[in-house]
Amino acid sequence: MTIEYLKTAQQSAQSHDSDTTATVQAMLAAIRSGGEERVREYARTLDGWNGPIILGPEHFLRADKALSEGVKSDIRFAHQRITDFAKRQRDAMQEFSHEFMPGLTAGQRLIPCQSAGCYIPGGRYAHAASAIMSVGTAKVAGVGHIVAATPAQGAHGMHPAILYALQLCGADTVLALGGVQAIAAMTMGLFGCKPADIIVGPGNRFVAEAKRLLFGQVGIDVLAGPTESCVIADDSADADIVTADLIGQAEHGPDSPVWLISTSRTLAQEVIARAPAVIAALPEPARSAAGAAWRDYAEVVLVSTPQEAVQVSDRYAPEHVQVMARDLDWWLAHLSNYGSLFLGENTTVAYGDKCSGPNHILPTRGAARYSGGLSVGKFIKTLTWQRLDRSAGSAVGQVAARISRLEGMEGHARTGDIRLHKFFPDQAFELGSLDDYPAESWSGTPAADTTANT
């Protein structure tokens, strides 16, 4: 086994920012006590927005008029691909009812959340695609009420492309809010909105921390960190394309890790050599962001075999994994830890980010080891149900009573006893007793103590 790092990261994306936590905690406390007025104050001071928080029809009409037909057509194209994929996901989820033994029928229902809050980031970029990924997917899932929040860009207000996408997707309410105040408003049900059952959507570190601190009061999709991308490439890959894809993802921000894993030393060295020129050719602010990300967070790893490449990639568990190598089906079968997988030279992360179909709200910082990204399933509760007739109750009730007593839970056992005695008064059952399971046989605790605690 030979794994060699030709370039290592100077900083770790795993570090915790205690200052961010303190800031978000203080803001949430202020909003809890000050309510809508404190939220309006944050909108004025942090976003430079003095207009209405709830956007009305006139805002969407202006957005429609501000966009060219070409831009609107592109947004509709993205909406069609993304919602088509979401519908396939929804169709793959199944309700069922099954008789598991005579008289015992159980099953599951798929019930959408009643309300969802969708955060669409602002900042340097107009994230129209994020609006579709969150609101469009929630709509396909059947969520009853969808609130979207997106920050204003000072007096200019919300980007028209985002507003057009939100209207196309069917958002019920749109708030001109960003950051912590947006997450808090949707969670707490301010401005006449229903409190969200779940909050989804990417954002900066303050948004991510607000979601983390509010989790439990509200559901969340993922705790998103900086965007991550990994390229796996062999000697058949084009060094120019590999470099462009790595640097293209690094422009997300100065702390966005990018990783190259290659079985080819020549390719890896060519990418390292070409990266500075590709970065220098970008306009600002992308140039500075990509330059810092490449300098501080990028890694280039040389491996001997595809199996080693899988091992390294799965250890990273990247948000995005691109494979530019032979035998793409082998990689699809063997890679396990990623948010989304992009196979072949014709496929790049930017396609998935914008319009190809699968959702781009994905796990980061290793969370792909145990979680996938946003899907219709995040908005749908899988709820179980069961029904027993008397015959099934006779069989199940005896076992449940005995297991309850084995566990020392006499109250549970008696809920079975009372039914068996009512429905089968002339029948004798073996229901067990605490004496059958003396506590000293496994813990050294006297049986009398166990009885006293039930």
> Would you call 453 helix, strand, or coil by DSSP?
helix
> Would you call 224 helix, strand, or coil by DSSP?
coil
Q: Which two tokens stand for residue 121?
A: 């980031």
The answer to whether residue 320 is catalytic is yes
Show the CA angle centred on residue 150, arms to residues 341 and 284, nearest 5°: 65
> Would you call 228 helix, strand, or coil by DSSP?
coil
Cβ neighbors of 174 (< 8 A, separation 6 or more) are 54, 55, 59, 147, 148, 149, 150, 158, 163, 166
Catalytic residue among 320, 345, 410, 421: 320
**Side-chain half-sphere exposure of 360, counting CA atoms within 13 A:** 28
Rounded Cα–Cα distance for residues 220 and 212 (Å): 8
Q: What is the DSSP string of 396-449?
A: HHHHHHHHHHHTT-HHHHHHHHHHHHHH-TT-------GGGS-GGGTTS--HHH
Cβ neighbors of 323 (< 8 A, separation 6 or more) are 231, 232, 233, 331, 335, 341, 342, 343, 344
Write b or e for each residue in 91-110: b if 16 or more Cβ atoms lie within 10 A of its Cβ, otherwise e.
eeeeeeeeeeeebbbeebeb
Rounded Cα–Cα distance for residues 235 and 228 (Å): 23
Cβ neighbour number for residue 433 with a 10 Å cutoff: 13
Rounded Cα–Cα distance for residues 434 and 34 (Å): 55
301 sits in which H/E element: strand 299-303
Asked whether 42 and 148 are in contact (CB, 8 A), the reply is: no
Whole-number Cα distances in Å, 407 to 102, 395, 399, 402, 433: 27, 19, 12, 9, 11
Whole-number Cα distances in Å, 282 to 244, 247, 256, 291: 11, 9, 16, 10
Q: What are phi and psi of 171, to 5 degrees?
A: -60, 135
Q: Is the peptide bond prior to 285 cis by the omega test (within 30 degrees of 0)?
A: yes
| Residues with active-site annotation | 319-320
